[in-house]
Amino acid sequence: MTMRTTFKTHIMLAVAAVSVLAGGATAAFAQNKGPGDVAIKGYVAPKQGEFPRLLFRESDLPRLKARAQTPEGKAIIARLKETLGGGDMMPENFSKDAPVNNADDKAVAKHPMGTYTLSHGAGFAFLYQLTGEKRYADLARECLDKLFEGQVDRDSRYNWPTPGTGFRLGFVLQSICLTYDLAADAWPADYKKSVVERVMNMRVKKVDKDQFFTLEDLAKAGGYPPGSNHYGAYLSGPGLAALTFMGEPGADDKRLKGLLDQVEKNLVNLCGNGFGDHGWFAEGTSCGRISSNHGVLPLLQSLKVAGGKDYISTWPNARFTVLRIMHEIVPMGGRAQFPHRGDYGNDNFYERPMISNMGDFSQGMGAVLPREAEAMAWIYDKFVEPNNKTYNSYQYPHLAIYAYVNWPEKRTDPDDVFTKTLVDDTHGYYLTRNGWNDGNDILVSTLLKRGPGGYKSGAVRAGTMVWGFGEKLNFGGLGGKTAHYRASADGSMELADEKGNALVVDFSKASGAAAVIAAKGEVKAGAPKKGAITVVDAGGEKVSVLVLNDAAPAVPTANGKDITIGGQTITVDGNVLKLTKFSEKK
């Protein structure tokens, strides 16, 4: 089975799980199941003292060094050096901000490019791997010493002695582990042992209260539920520490094995009871990115490379923590945007200059199937940064490293990789689009808002959002359990809940329009510039019909329970709206 077939098979299973049964009964929902056997057959574990191991192995180095001679490889290395402040010496700028729990976006943004970050050490260490020049390993050590001395990141919530909260330690430990992984073979044994012991014996204090964090506290996610944005970010630190330091002098392998087991158990919990089966998160859009960028994505890649555990190809739950976003992105107004729901952000994908908002692509490409990474690269080129690429690194060296390692050379049109319709059955999140083209793409998403919650789930609004031709509309909504669902390969979709609410999306163009979206009831929505909304009476049932088109749209007319728009007919069938011209997925 090819990668593309595997991907689409998972979607079809989700569709089958909510198909309506004969007589109008509701099908049983697919339960979240774990990934099954994730052990990679024939995997050769790193030998004691073998580095690097977290993102790539020694056997990968010839390929990575060769990439440095390609135009894209050169561009990413140039970006890495820019984030380092030049790349040949310690940075000139160090934040003097006091450690805090809550960051001021403007205060963080004031620091110039190249200001010291906790991942500066990793950046220099990666240059050591590519060049073999020991001076880079020495700079990496100097940067790591700064971290242990208490130097804050450009975002002062992230620091070693007094982090803003426990989940900030995910990035702190990620920086330590990457630096060690990439520079260890150039460092003396006594220094390496001192680093291992610092991490093994860590007990760091939260900046604003007497709460302390050990590796065990982090592996248990600090007591947070999986639907909290904190949960995933807690896990990455101890997970990466276990994968990095296992077998090293100064490490307790039995303890590290226990930590890794706990992290993996909680990773499965997170991707089934925080995230749903296809990537929706209990606390909404931005909270989900915190949990994935700071937790799930780096863990998935290193578990595979350093641990021989493949959660990526065996389990859609894991990789859809980032792939869901790829279904949502639309370039509007010169910026990548997505239909945001919940706290901490808005529709502008990269508006907040914060590390938790970065890494979807650079880290995400290492946590999906190769063909999916090619589609992500296509989306990035067309929708995110058509010019002057930063490769999703922002101002952080480690993100440039992930980009260099993970960014595929080939680009593949997402229409050839992804299905146009995505369903997260756990949370009742449905999204469909007419393709990946440009800012005129039409996207319809609706959240029935069921399944596990989180502390901030109350800020996540349900309802249907319609984006098309650069405009955004709210268009009614559904809720609770699904009573009917079917989808077509062209993105057309029928959806109804058990309360009698129904939605239909037609992308077939049988109507003569680019899209027809209809909902039961009289929906209050603004008038689109390229289209019109008409409320018709279909056999005593009011139905709101939104027709989107570049030219003058066809006007819907009702005859009994049938609503005709051009060559398409929508029929009111009990509590369901059905399309007459409809080609189901094969």
Domain ranges of the chain: 3-31+419-579, 58-319
Name the CATH superfamily housing domain 58-319: Chondroitin AC/alginate lyase (1.50.10.100)
Q: Please list the residues that pair with 58 across neighbouring strands.
A: none
Is the per-residue pLDDT at 152 higher than 60? yes
Q: In 114-188, which residue ranges form alpha helices assigned H by DSSP?
A: 120-131, 134-149, 169-183
What confidence score (pLDDT) does residue 33 get?
Answer: 74
244-292 tens-digit pLDDT: 999 999 999 999 999 999 999 999 999 999 999 999 999 999 999 999 9
Is residue 527 very low, low, confident or very high in pLDDT (cuts 50, 70, 90)?
confident
Per the CB < 8 A criterion, the answer to whether 57 and 46 are in contact is: yes
Is residue 32 very low, low, confident or very high in pLDDT (cuts 50, 70, 90)?
low
Q: Summarize the confidence of residues 71-79 as an average pLDDT.
A: 99
Q: What percent of the chain has pLDDT over 70?
A: 94
Is the per-residue pLDDT at 24 higher than 70? no
Q: Summarize the confidence of residues 141-150 as an average pLDDT.
A: 99
What confidence score (pLDDT) does residue 352 get?
Answer: 81
CA dist list (Å): 334 to 122, 170, 290, 340, 357: 33, 33, 24, 17, 19
What confidence score (pLDDT) does residue 269 get?
Answer: 97
What confidence score (pLDDT) does residue 10 get?
Answer: 37
What confidence score (pLDDT) does residue 223 get?
Answer: 94
Is residue 19 very low, low, confident or very high in pLDDT (cuts 50, 70, 90)?
very low
- The closest of 20, 158, 32 to 424, measured between CA atoms, is 32
**Per-chain mean pLDDT for the chain:** 93
**Angle at the Cα of 273 from the Cα atoms of 268 and 275, rounded to 5 degrees:** 85
Is the per-residue pLDDT at 514 higher than 90? yes
Per the CB < 8 A criterion, the answer to whether 45 and 56 are in contact is: no
Is residue 34 very low, low, confident or very high in pLDDT (cuts 50, 70, 90)?
confident
* pTM of the shown model: 0.93
Is the per-residue pLDDT at 137 higher than 80? yes
What confidence score (pLDDT) does residue 104 get?
Answer: 86
Is residue 583 very low, low, confident or very high in pLDDT (cuts 50, 70, 90)?
confident
